[in-house]
Amino acid sequence: MRALAGWLWSAALLLILSFLVLYPVAMLLLGALTNTNPVVDGFGVYDISLKNFIAVLGNPNVLLALANSLIVCGGGTLLAVAIGLTFSWVVVRTDTPCKRFIAAASLIPLFVPPLVAAVAWSILASPKTGLLNTLLASIGITWRFNAYSMFGLIVIFGIYYAPYVYMFTASALRNMDPALEEAAEISGATPIKTLFTVTFPLIAPAIISGMLLSFVVMLGIYGIPAVLGTPADIPVLTTYIFKLTNWSPPLYSTAASVAIILMIVTGFLVFLQQRVVSGRSYITVAGKAFRPGVMRLGPWRWFTLALAVVYLVVVVVLPTLALIVAGFRKFLFIRSIASLFDMKQYSLIHFERLFDNPLALRSIVNTMEVGCITAVVGGIFAFAIGYTVNRTKARGRRGIDIISTIPVAIPGLVVGVAYLWAWIGLPGGLYGTIWILALAFIARFMPDTIKALSTSMLQIHRELEEAAWICGKSLLGTIRTIVLPLARPGVIAAMTLLFILAIRELGSSLFLYTSNTMVMAVLLLDYYEGGNVGITAAFSLVQTVLLAVLIGIAHLLSRGRTDSSSVGRAG
């Protein structure tokens, strides 16, 4: 009976995954290999050939875009690891003052939509008209910031995606048994040596997971390279794919082939990560009480605090100021610093125009609905998969694991096309509702959610569950009384992450929204493409305020339900 239930459970999960992942991916492959739009041309027109795919491999522009993507995302990832790891160590393992502030600061960039960050930085650091450069010119310095460059892209990616590394490493550091570190210190190792030879190797899976996730997320980002890379003529895979889908006629098959290259690259990385993680035991939460030691930094603790303040200024304060200037100023032509303070140039005109457009309010409501549906449904589904894969011996769990990881490798723009092709023809009214968006987001962010959950699940020792079984609890009872309470901070963090990812998501929304289901990210791109940096900045500010309020609420909720040690994660 129990075996049958387990079998049915696996079958149900596989069925849902097939609908969410395999079917759209199959449509994508069909598009890549046949050079047709399966919906328009019908499914009968099969002329499957590898010609497209081989042609794409030989195209120097594709290779250039691929090389640029790898350089930008690779560089960005290294920077993200340096920043994320530093702050997680500072928050969890040092006596730096204002740790709660640093913990919050380390996560804030996660909430900034990439397009908003990019627009803000183009206002700040465009080589010709950037506010920072106007400032430099006014004090007689000839050196200029240049956001429109490879280096600029790497820095922007690195600083905005560091939270992914932070999230993984902070919880791992917090839940680590300090016994080994103590042993190292007793053996005479310096604190720094202990850090690099014991602490960081121990949390290697968390570092690698964070690294992998941030790299893969960067690979799929469109907003940043579109705004900062295009003026410098630096194509990356996402901007290249967008260009292909915008061609006349659109080269979907080429776009799909490029996407397959992306999938291969990421697939390889995922494989590597699993090889690294699988061979070793990373259980650090066991049924014994402990408290990781805190390093006394002495006067250096003011230095670590200053680092956090600088980071906050760079990722939040400066861009927000730039958006405020752009959003309230009639035109963004700023000749000198003096004209920046000419109050006659400021007005509310962009905000008035924004809210004159009925779509603005509608898009906000739609986005919130989609975000909630995605977070709740996607969170539950991801927990079901994460638990099945990591903690049970259910049949087919390996397959479930692999299928649920596939979406990580498909960039949003292409996912949008795949979902459109796969789902528009289904009977019933999925197309044109916000459910099609929510389903696409659930599928697209499933790997991120499961990874976020698995890390907290991997750390819970089986002995705790075994104890519950011995006491006569059923499987569901064990999940309810042992696993959920212990993993709750992780579950809430994962749902919050999912909510934020969903309301920021642009790429896959582009093909799925309709006049009735416009979402904020798409409308923002519309305004950006519509060439009005004033309204774009005004709308960005509105979104920033909204997000800040929502995150504040989530923060309060999670604080009310969990102990203070998890603030950093849920924060």
Backbone Cα Rg of the chain: 24
Out of 330, 462, 480, 561, point to the residue binding other proteins (CB under 8 A): 330
- Give the per-residue contact string, 171-210, with other proteins (x = CB under 8 A; - = no): ----------------------------------------
Contact 87, 106 (CB under 8 A): yes
DSSP string, 380-427: HHHHHHHHHHHH---TTHHHHHHHHHGGGGS-HHHHHHHHHHHHTTSS
CA 72 to CA 63: how far, in whole Å?
14
- 250/399 with CB nearer other proteins: 250
**343 near other proteins, judged by CB under 8 A:** no
DSSP assigned state of 8: H
Contact 269, 216 (CB under 8 A): yes
Segment 107-136, which members bind other proteins (CB under 8 A)? Answer: 126, 128-129
User: What are the Cα distances from residue 357, in Å, to 351, 362, 370, 435, 510?
Assistant: 10, 9, 21, 24, 19
How many residues does this entry show for the chain? 571
- 182/529 with CB nearer other proteins: 529
**149 near other proteins, judged by CB under 8 A:** no
Segment 27-46, which members bind other proteins (CB under 8 A)? Answer: 37, 39-40
Out of 87, 89, 511, 539, point to the residue binding other proteins (CB under 8 A): 511
**Which single residue is written with the structure tokens 């149900």?**
12
Q: Which of 158, 204, 217, 165 is nearest to 448 (CA)?
A: 217
**58 near other proteins, judged by CB under 8 A:** no
Out of 142, 187, 248, 281, point to the residue binding other proteins (CB under 8 A): 248
- 230/320 with CB nearer other proteins: 230
**247 near other proteins, judged by CB under 8 A:** yes
Out of 49, 138, 197, 514, point to the residue binding other proteins (CB under 8 A): 514
**321 near other proteins, judged by CB under 8 A:** no
**518 near other proteins, judged by CB under 8 A:** yes
Q: Which residues pair with 346 in a beta bridge?
A: 329
Out of 115, 533, 537, 554, point to the residue binding other proteins (CB under 8 A): 533
Q: Which residues pair with 295 in a beta bridge?
A: 94
Q: Which residues pair with 285 in a beta bridge?
A: 460
Q: How far is the CB of 493 from other proteins (least distance, A)?
A: 35
**515 near other proteins, judged by CB under 8 A:** yes
Q: How far is the CB of 368 from other proteins (least distance, A)?
A: 20
Q: Which residues pair with 94 in a beta bridge?
A: 295
DSSP string, 168-213: HHHHHHHT--THHHHHHHHTT--HHHHIIIIIHHHTHHHHHHHHHH
Contact set with other proteins (CB under 8 A): 37, 39-40, 61, 64, 126, 128-129, 230-231, 233, 235, 245-250, 330-333, 335, 349, 356-357, 359, 420-421, 424-425, 431-432, 510-511, 514-516, 518, 526-533, 535
